Amino acid sequence: MYSSQVKAVAQFRNAKALPSNLPEIVCLRSTHDGVLLRDGTVVETTQATKQHGLFAFTLTDHTQFSLRGKCALIENLAVFHSFEKLGLEPTLAIWTGGVSSRRFINWLAGSIPNDLRVSHLPDYDPVGLSEFLRHHEQLGDVVTLFLPKELPILFRQHCNTSLLMDEKNQRTLMQLRKSQHPAVQQVVALMDEFNGGLEHEAIFLKNNSS
């Protein structure tokens, strides 16, 4: 059976004209096993990370995989590849690549009974904050926004004004100013103060001054 993308090209000459019916590919890295389960059994993700750089599986609506305990969601590939250097409490990180699908967020929600705790690491810009709020809407306080203590310094030294110049981002920022989430309010205040956003790769940069 052809995928919906193949059918869309045949019917509309546009692969994106129909909703995708393909499974997603979930890529993760871990420094300790025990977070990813398959049918309740621990998956050895750490050895795959050491040997191949990551562990991957396909996510369907009726997947056998689930999560248990703490994990990190990382938007940017550079941060994902080096997440161990951040010294985070979660020992497993999942690369989101940006906007998560509804299927993926629902999959996370299905693991809430397993004491799931999610640390979200997006860019500190309107798109990244909006994505965090999408997860928070579904997961509640199970998901928290990662806020390094040196975030104000990083904004002052490395913020990018072009991240706020786009008209769509400006509209999104206006909506974010209405958010009651304290972590979002904190980052929005920094974006307003420095008139820019901060790409998450900046957390690897050493502070030049205080």
pLDDT tens profile 161-202: 999 988 999 999 999 999 999 999 999 999 999 999 999 999
Angle at 206 between CA 192 and CA 195, to 5 degrees: 10
Q: Answer for the pair 179, 173: CB distance below 8 angstroms, yes or no.
A: no
Interval 96-107: pLDDT, tens: 998 899 999 999
Does some domain include residue 83?
Answer: yes
- 49 domain residue, yes or no: yes
| Across 46-72, average pLDDT | 96
In a domain, 113, yes or no: yes
Weakest-pLDDT range from 16-30, 143-157, 181-195: 16-30
| Cα–Cα distances in angstroms (integers) from residue 32 to residues 29, 42, 49, 51, 102, in the given order | 9, 11, 10, 14, 27
Total tally of structural domains belonging to the chain: 1
82 found inside a domain: yes
- The verdict on residue 67 lying in a domain is yes
Domain hosting 72: range is 23-121
Q: What percent of the chain is modeled with pLDDT above 70? A: 87
pTM for the model: 0.89
170 domain-assigned: no
- Establish if 189 belongs to a structural domain: no
